[in-house]
Amino acid sequence: MNVKTVTINADRLAASIHELGQFGLNEGGGLDRTTFTEPELKARDWLKEQLSKLNVDVYTDEAANIWGKRVGKKRKSIVCGSHIDTVPNGGKFDGALGVLIGLEMLRTLEENGIETEHDVELVSFSAEEPNPFGLSTFGSRAISGKLTAQQIKDVKNAEGIRVTDALAKAGGIPEQLDHCVRKEDELLAYLEVHIEQGKRLVDAHVPLGVVTGITGIYREELTIKGVPNHAGTTVMTDRSDALVAAAELIVTVKNVCTDFPKAELVGTVGQVHVLPNATNIIPGEVVLAVEIRGEKTEDVNKVQQELQEKKSYVETTYGVHIETKVMLNQAPVEMSEYIMKTMERQADIAGFSTMRLGSMAGHDAAHMASLTPSGMIFVPSVDGKSHCPEEESSMNDIEKAANVCLHSLLEIDQEGGSV
């Protein structure tokens, strides 16, 4: 058989997307399949059932990641996957697409009798999405040694449920979490197909995105302290209004990021808490959650610097005091140039145009990149919508991405990988 002509079964893949999309389906058409809930546990069972029909070794590791390994001639693995948990009222493509394309690739290899030089593994990572336990990218952090049993032992959600209990219910072994760490010398590459969750591919009329890197994320909590006072009897020139000061900082974040010369940098103030939050009292304290995302560390640092300069101006101008607490400072992660070129070459062979772009959302691939050369393919998101019931990608684009991923895997398998 000429493996260069092998393609995935698009109808079967579409059916799998539909089937998995029934778990957690709500009346509004969205998916409520958040981490370790009953719908997510049922979706896990469905995935394990599909894998059990293939000639693969199926197991759940200590972090409750689901694995399906197809044994090759050499004991070094090419891993493909993503996650099947969703945000509340989310869509059926985010994460799930990468897992289902990985499943379809395993099916395609088996039904065509293709023997690979290396093991091929599918992984469905636990708890990629932000969740009530506050532990996103749980599974990929665990296998890359960035999340330990000690770190999770006392974690609970708002209802008092321990993450260790929820993890055990999903098939994990929380007290042995550290045992799931994968070694660099047992991995050859990691591939992930994901929806873009933005409009860059749609606007460019390009069917496939080759991801260059995964955004750095900087988050800080700003506490602006003014002076609360009577809103009717305090004249405007005598005020130290924390909310007015906060408003200037919010606009600064927007303006600095809008004026930045690169499109792949964004800033958001997503939370505002005002105290005492009363109609007739001048706000005495405001807490802001500021987030900056960018593909390059130096770009994020430049925005931080401009924001710091504005803080000093605001303190002097409005008579307030600003305290800064850094909540997260996650460096950007580059994808493998070798894998990017492999994906582009396979797309070119198939006659599909591609576009390089950075990911402005976090992904499991960011953690896998610390273990092995990693690469991602983005599929266009209709109207750029994601994390909502309207999330959609065309099967035409999905089929292209799946076949490019399949043949990228086969090329990497034959060449033995490279950084």
pLDDT single digits (tens) 376-403: 999 999 999 999 999 999 999 999 999 9
- Does the pLDDT of residue 1 top 80, yes or no? no
At 330, is the pLDDT very low, low, confident or very high (cuts 50, 70, 90)?
confident
Q: From the annotation, which residues make up the binding site?
A: 83, 94, 129, 194, 219, 280, 293, 387
pLDDT at 75: 81
At 72, is the pLDDT very low, low, confident or very high (cuts 50, 70, 90)?
very high
pLDDT at 264: 81
pLDDT at 376: 99
Average per-residue pLDDT for the chain:
96
Structural domains in the chain plus CATH codes: 3-214+332-415 (3.40.630.10), 216-330 (3.30.70.360)
pLDDT single digits (tens) 117-164: 999 999 999 999 989 998 999 999 999 999 999 999 999 998 999 999
pLDDT single digits (tens) 160-217: 999 999 999 999 999 999 999 999 999 999 999 999 999 999 999 999 999 999 999 9
| 110-114, 242-246, 329-333, 363-367: least confidently modelled range | 329-333
pLDDT at 416: 87
pLDDT at 418: 62
pLDDT at 122: 99
Higher pLDDT residue, 327 or 190? 190
pLDDT at 260: 87
User: d(Cα 261, Cα 81) in Å, to the nearest integer?
Assistant: 34
Q: From the annotation, which residues make up the binding site for Zn(2+)?
A: 83, 94, 129, 194, 387
Q: From the annotation, which residues make up the binding site for allantoate?
A: 219, 280, 293
pLDDT at 295: 87
pLDDT at 74: 86
